[in-house]
């Protein structure tokens, strides 16, 4: 018999501005649950989470929290206004039996002392402080709304490990696909005010959602086709583009292969072709550039060449100098030594991370057109502002909405719309995924795939970099930068590790363990053990067998009638698919480690 839920919402309704936002939404959180809440921007995910946290009273329905169960909620925008120090803010979230020393340990592990003034925190520091306040009590139920926003990659990896080790039940809202895939085992889809439940993690959600929509569209075949098409575009424009994205991924692989031929393992590019031969194709050429601030070296002796059509991702911990590197490459900042050559006729458009240039009183239409016009020019073509707004999932009636009334995700989309409206052949995006929902991310990825120019993007979103970048430039510390062909996963496969925190702000692991003393290497030539040799021999056949099993399961789940005919079989197949894919990933990782070890021994 299943354990009773710790937290439950039944038939919740809520109307805002005369329009129902929630219409009978349900949510059930069992002990130890790992659940993600997904839905398009504006569907009410954050509102439903606030109702679950007890911060908003719904118009109807029931909220149940098991007596004695503790609950903590991480909002998108924490309120620091009544606190003089970060430690005061954190301690205000502790209960009588909670350990303040554990809270301080978490703060120090995230690079904070607790004595900081909350009003002077950066976005990333504020998010880390809010995370400590939510995590320190180790509650029975933990509700997290966009926990990875403004965090760098080392902190995101620390947070993943910490959440995976907690006994708390988790409910997550996030735009970070990789984060959701790694942590969740259940999915709740909020769509048109109602919720649908998938007994599997986010990894299987998008394929399941598309099958649900296809089935729904078949059921509505006799309805007004114009209304169906309009609603489908407004709510699920992404799913209709998925087949086209297959071709785009193939094109991305081709671009990565071309880039791989030009990227040396140590980023010391060999300039074999002359500049004249690259006329019209050369965008940026950096030769032995360096930059320091006082004694701190940001870049030291870095060289690279960026050609037209390249998609360069830049990653690193907070404070590593990512923005400085972008400014050096784009000519905004002069290097202390070395030289940066910019190609002819470059037109750059930049998406800033802070969004400070958005004036709160300006309307959406004025931001996009510059004021006094109903049209915007895109690639030499005049388009009415309403049509262009729709490309970014805005409704026509929002044209005269002030910026101050837009949500964080809507402001992010507005910044993208403005940046992409500017004539450019080089697009520079600084943390473009912050505050964007998953559907908007899909839209952005599609537009970037079609962008004919060159892209430079700073991002902490691993999945986004895998889908967009042809090469990744990473800070390796002490002014050393390395470039890797491919996306973030390709980089980690080549390095054997992801992005590490900058010295001095290293997040502690979830459960620190004493590092064992290194063992002395035995005399004689190193070699693979019998067990390792056997694994290296048998793993390829095992991987091939698992791939075949995965193919059969996917073929079974592709049957649109299966869910209606046999829901239990559909659910079992989904669970087995997830387990098999995880087993394949482990086998591939083990084989890769052994193959690298074999090459090192034989090399």
DSSP state of 241: G
> Would you say residue 322 has pLDDT above 80?
yes
Q: Return the minimum-mean-pLDDT range out of 134-148, 240-254, 557-571.
A: 240-254
In the chain, how long is the greatest CA-to-CA distance? 79
Q: What is the pLDDT of residue 279?
A: 29
Q: Which of 444, 471, 495 is the last residue of a domain?
A: 495
The answer on 307 and 265 residing in a single domain is yes
Reported as a pLDDT band with limits 50, 70 and 90, residue 362 is confident
Higher-confidence residue of 135 and 260: namely 135
The pLDDT score that the predictor gives to residue 213 is: 86
Say whether both 53 and 132 belong to one domain: yes
Distance CA 536, CA 407 (A): 52
- 231 in any annotated domain: no
Q: How confident is the model at residue 249, as a pLDDT?
A: 64
Structure tokens at 441: 């991310």
Write down the pLDDT at residue 73. 96
The answer on 361 and 338 residing in a single domain is no
Which residue is it, tokens 């320091």? 292
Among 170, 406, 428, CA closest to 310: 428
Residue 318 lies inside a defined structural domain of this protein: yes
Pair 363, 282 in one domain: no
pLDDT tens profile 170-195 = 999 998 999 999 999 999 999 989 99
Query: Cα angle at 96 between 132 and 112, to 5 degrees?
Result: 25
Tens digits of residue pLDDT in 463-520: 999 999 999 999 888 889 999 988 999 888 888 776 765 444 445 444 433 433 443 4
Residue where the block lists tokens 């802070």: 354
Long-range interactions of 586-594: CB distance < 8 A, separation 24+: 587/539, 587/542, 587/543, 587/546, 588/543, 590/535, 590/539, 591/535, 591/536, 591/539, 591/540, 591/543, 592/493, 594/528, 594/532, 594/535, 594/536, 594/539
What digits encode the pLDDT tens for the residues 347-358?
888 877 656 667
Task: Name the 3-class secondary structure at 263.
Answer: coil
Shared domain for 109 and 171, answered yes or no, is yes
Domain count, the chain: 4
More confident residue, 351 or 234: 351
Specify whether 418 is located in the same domain as 428.
Answer: no
- Report whether 471 contacts 263 (CB < 8 A): yes
Which long-range CB contacts under 8 A does 529-538 form with residues at least 24 apart? 532/594, 532/597, 535/590, 535/591, 535/594, 536/591, 536/594, 536/595, 536/598
- Whether 377 has a pLDDT exceeding 60, the answer reads yes
CB atoms within 10 A of CB 285: 20
Q: Which of 213, 233, 261 is the last residue of a domain?
A: 213
Mean pLDDT to the nearest integer, 74-85: 90
Q: Which residue, chain included where needed, has tokens 């829901």? A: 567
CA distance 40 to 82: 33
- Residue at which a domain ends, from 495, 511, 539: 495
Is there a single domain that holds both residue 409 and residue 446?
A: no
49-58, 229-238, 491-500: segment of lowest average pLDDT: 229-238
pLDDT digits (tens, 9 = 90+) for 95-122: 888 888 999 999 988 889 999 998 888 8
> Is the model more confident about 603 or about 22?
22
Among the listed ranges 67-71, 285-289, 358-362, 559-563, which one has the minimum average pLDDT value?
559-563
Question: pTM for this structure?
Answer: 0.67
Burial 64-75 (b: 16+ CB within 10 A, else e): ebbeebbbbbbb
Top mean-pLDDT range of 265-269, 278-282, 408-412, 414-418: 414-418
Q: Note whether 76 and 14 are same-domain residues.
A: yes
pLDDT digits 0-9 by tens, 249-288: 667 677 766 666 555 443 333 222 222 233 257 889 999 9
In this structure, are 402 and 445 located in the same domain?
Answer: no
- CB atoms inside a 10 Å sphere around CB 292: 15
Predicted pLDDT at 514: 40
Indicate whether 402 and 290 sit together in one domain: no
CATH of the domain at 264: 3.40.50.300
Instruction: Give the model's pLDDT for residue 278.
Output: 31
- Both 305 and 429 in one domain: the answer is yes
pLDDT of residue 264: 44
CATH number of the domain that 589 lies in?
A: 1.10.287
- Residue bearing the bigger pLDDT, 518 or 37: 37
């Amino acid at each position: 018999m299943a354990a009773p839920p710790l937290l439950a919402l039944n038939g919740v309704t809520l109307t805002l501005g005369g329009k129902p936002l929630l219409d009978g939404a349900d949510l059930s959180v069992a002990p130890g649950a790992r659940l993600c809440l997904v839905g398009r921007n504006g569907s009410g995910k954050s509102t439903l989470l606030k109702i679950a946290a007890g911060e908003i009273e719904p118009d109807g329905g029931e909220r149940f929290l098991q007596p004695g169960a503790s609950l903590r909620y991480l909002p998108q925008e924490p309120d620091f206004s009544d606190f003089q120090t970060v430690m005061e803010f954190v301690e205000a979230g502790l209960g009588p039996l909670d350990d303040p020393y554990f809270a301080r340990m978490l703060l120090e592990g995230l690079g904070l002392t607790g004595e900081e003034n909350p009003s002077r925190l950066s976005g990333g520091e504020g998010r880390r402080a809010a995370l400590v306040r939510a995590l320190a009590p180790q509650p029975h139920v933990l509700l997290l709304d966009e926990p990875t926003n403004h965090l760098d990659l080392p902190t995101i990896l620390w947070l993943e490990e910490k959440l995976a080790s907690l006994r708390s039940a988790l409910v997550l809202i996030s735009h970070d696909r990789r984060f959701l895939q790694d942590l969740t085992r259940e999915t709740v889809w909020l769509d048109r005010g109602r919720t649908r439940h998938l007994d599997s993690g986010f990894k299987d959600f998008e394929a399941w959602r598309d099958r649900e929509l296809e089935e729904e569209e078949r059921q509505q075949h006799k309805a007004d086709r114009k209304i169906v098409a309009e609603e489908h575009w407004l709510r699920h424009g992404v799913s209709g583009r998925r087949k086209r994205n297959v071709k785009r991924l193939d094109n991305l692989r081709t671009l990565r292969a071309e880039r791989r031929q030009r990227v040396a393992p140590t980023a010391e590019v060999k300039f074999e072709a002359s500049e004249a031969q690259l006329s019209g194709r050369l965008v940026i050429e950096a030769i032995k550039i360096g930059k320091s601030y006082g004694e701190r070296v940001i870049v030291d002796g870095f060289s690279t060449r960026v050609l037209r059509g390249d998609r360069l991702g830049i990653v690193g911990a907070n404070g590593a100098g990512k923005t400085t590197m972008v400014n050096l490459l784009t000519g905004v900042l002069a290097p202390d030594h070395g030289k940066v050559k910019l190609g002819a006729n470059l037109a750059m458009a930049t998406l800033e991370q802070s969004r400070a240039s958005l004036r709160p009183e300006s309307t959406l239409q004025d931001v996009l057109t510059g004021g006094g016009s109903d049209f915007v020019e895109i690639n030499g073509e005049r388009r009415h502002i309403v049509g262009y707004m729709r490309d970014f999932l805005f409704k026509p009636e929002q044209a005269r909405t002030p910026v101050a009334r837009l949500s964080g995700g809507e402001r992010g989309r507005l910044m993208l719309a403005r940046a992409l409206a500017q004539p450019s052949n080089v697009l520079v995006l600084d943390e473009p995924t912050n505050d964007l929902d998953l559907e908007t991310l899909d839209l952005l990825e599609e537009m970037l795939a079609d962008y004919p120019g060159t892209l430079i993007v700073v991002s902490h979103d691993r999945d986004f970099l895998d889908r967009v970048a042809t090469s990744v430039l990473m800070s390796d510390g002490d002014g050393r930068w390395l470039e890797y062909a491919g996306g973030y996963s390709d980089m980690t496969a080549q390095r054997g590790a992801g992005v590490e925190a900058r010295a001095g702000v290293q997040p502690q692991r979830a459960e620190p363990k004493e590092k064992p003393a290194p063992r002395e290497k035995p005399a004689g030539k190193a070699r693979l053990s019998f067990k390792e040799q056997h694994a290296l021999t048998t793993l390829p056949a095992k991987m091939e067998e698992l791939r075949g099993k995965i193919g059969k399961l996917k073929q079974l789940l592709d049957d649109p009638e299966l869910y209606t005919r046999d829901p239990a079989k559909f659910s079992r197949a989904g669970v087995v698919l997830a387990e098999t894919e995880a087993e394949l990933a482990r086998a591939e990782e083990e084989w890769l480690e052994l193959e690298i070890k074999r090459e090192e021994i034989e090399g």
